[in-house]
Amino acid sequence: MYTQAMSVGPQDAPSSKIKSAEEAQREAAFEARIAAGDFIEPKDWMPEHYRKTLVRQISQHAHSEIVGMLPEGNWVTRAPTLKRKAILLAKIQDEAGHGLYLYSAAETLGTSRDQMLDALHTGKAKYSSIFNYPTLNWADIGVIGWLVDGAAIMNQVPLCRCSYAPYARAMIRVCREESFHQRQGYESLLVMMREGTAAQKAMVQDAVNRWWWPALMMFGPEDKDSPNSEQSIRWGIKRVTNDQLRQKFVDATVPQAEILGITLPDPDLKWNAEREAHDFGKIDWSEFWRVVNGEGPLNRERLGARVKAWEDGAWVRDAALAHARKQATKEQAA
C-alpha cells in the first residue's frame, strides 16, 4: 500500500554550484533522454538531485509499506472469520514483500537498507501519514483496503511509467497485488452492508467517516502548495499532479460508495455536470500538516513500534551474522 505526498518532507535544493561545461553537457543529454520518454537504469548517469529525489521518494514508499503493516496487524488476531484472517495475513505479507522490492529499488541508487532504516528510526525519513490513524473497529480493515489501497493505486499506477526503470518495474508488481487487496477490502464491506446486521452497517459507516478525509490527504498538498511537483513531473518521476489524482479518486469512489449504500462525510460533495466531475469540500490542511509533522493520532506509537522491533531484534541479527562468519571460517578451513 502507500503512497502520498512524495513532495512532502525534507527537500534537497538542486545544487546551485557552477557547472562545468562537461557537466552541463551530461545534464542536457539526460534531459533529452527523459524528454524522449527513455527509462533511466542504475548505471546511467543522472543528476545528483534526481538521484536524491528518487532515494527519498522510494525509501519513503518502502517505509510506508512497513509501517502500514501495523494498523492492519492490529486486527489480525481478532479477524472475525478464518477466511478474513487468511486474507488479512496474506495482505500484510504482501506489504512486507512490497517493502523489500522497494528497498531493493532504492539500493540501486547507491543507498543501503540499513541507512534507510536508520533514517526511518531516527525520524529523518517520512512514511505515509495515513498510517498514523488508528484502526478502531473491524470495518476499518475493509475501509483501508477500499479507500487507502484505492488511493495508493491511483498514486502508483502513473508511477509504473516513472522514468527510473527499477522503480517503475517495482510499481508494476506492487500494483498488481494491490488491486487484488483493494477488491477484497471492498468485497468485505459489501458483505457487511448487504447481508450484515444493523450494528455491522453502523460499523462500516463509522469507519468510512473516519478514513475518508485522511484518504484524500494521501494525494499530498494542493498543487499550488506543492513546489517540487513541477521538477518531478519534468523528470518523469511523477506523471500526474496531486489535485488531478485526488479528483480522479473522488470520481471513482463516489459510485462505489453508492453501491455500498454508505454516505461519504462531506456535505459539499456533489456532481458538477459542467466539469463532469465531483465537487468536494475543503480538506483540513492544518490536520494534514500536523500529522505529517509528527503530531497525528499515532505517530509516536507507530514509529515506537518499529524502533522497538528493530532494537528487540538486534540480538537475532547479531547471532545470524556471527553464525554466518563461523560458517565462512569453517568453509575456508576445509
Partner 1 sequence: MSQQSIQVGESPQVQYLLRLGDSCLVLAQRICEWSGHAPILEEDLALSNMALDLLGQARALLTHAARLDGQGHDEDQLAFLRDERQYLNPVLMELPRGDFAFTVLRNFAVSTWLLLLWRRLEGSSDAELAAIAGKAVKEAAYHQQHAADWVLRLGDGTEESSARMRAALGTLWPYCNELFDSDAVDAAAAAQGLGPDWASLKDEWRAQFCEVLADAGLDCPKDSAYQSQGRRGIHSEHLGHMLATMQYLQRAYPGGVW
Q: Which residues bind partner 1 (CB under 8 A)?
A: 66, 69-70, 73, 76-86, 89-90, 92-93, 96-97, 99-100, 103, 138, 188, 191-192, 195-197, 199-200, 305-306, 308-310, 312-320, 322-324, 326
Under DSSP, the state recorded for 272 is E
CA dist 15 and 259 (Å) reads 51
What is the smallest separation between the CB atom of 134 and partner 1, expressed in angstroms? 14
User: Nearer to partner 1 by C-beta: 86 or 172?
Assistant: 86
User: Nearer to partner 1 by C-beta: 16 or 315?
Assistant: 315
CA torsion angle for 152, 153, 156, 161 (degrees, to 10)?
Answer: -170
User: Nearer to partner 1 by C-beta: 157 or 204?
Assistant: 204
User: Nearer to partner 1 by C-beta: 269 or 307?
Assistant: 307
Q: What are phi and psi of 277, to 5 degrees?
A: -160, 165
User: Nearer to partner 1 by C-beta: 234 or 323?
Assistant: 323
What is the smallest separation between the CB atom of 172 and partner 1, expressed in angstroms? 20
Q: How many CB atoms lie within 10 A of CB 176?
A: 10
User: Nearer to partner 1 by C-beta: 277 or 322?
Assistant: 322
Tell the residue number behind the cell numbers 541479527, with chain if given: 317
CA dist 84 and 136 (Å) reads 17
What is the smallest separation between the CB atom of 49 and partner 1, expressed in angstroms? 29
What is the smallest separation between the CB atom of 92 and partner 1, expressed in angstroms? 6
What is the smallest separation between the CB atom of 303 and partner 1, expressed in angstroms? 12
User: Nearer to partner 1 by C-beta: 176 or 308?
Assistant: 308
Q: Which residues of 268-306 are buried (b: 16+ CB within 10 A; e: fewer)?
A: ebeeeeeeeebebeebeeeebebbbeeebebbeebbebb
In this structure, which amino acid lies at residue 24?
A
For residue 251, give Cα distances in angstroms to 32, 108, 214, 216, 280. 35, 36, 17, 12, 10
What is the smallest separation between the CB atom of 287 and partner 1, expressed in angstroms? 25
User: Nearer to partner 1 by C-beta: 145 or 221?
Assistant: 145
Q: What are phi and psi of 308, to 5 degrees?
A: -65, -45
What is the smallest separation between the CB atom of 296 and partner 1, expressed in angstroms? 18
Whose CA is closest to 257, among 81, 249, 128?
249
Grid cell locating 211 = 478514513
What is the smallest separation between the CB atom of 258 and partner 1, expressed in angstroms? 21
Residue 47: exposure state from Cβ atoms within 10 A (0-12, 13-18, ≥19): middle
CA dist 297 and 131 (Å) reads 10
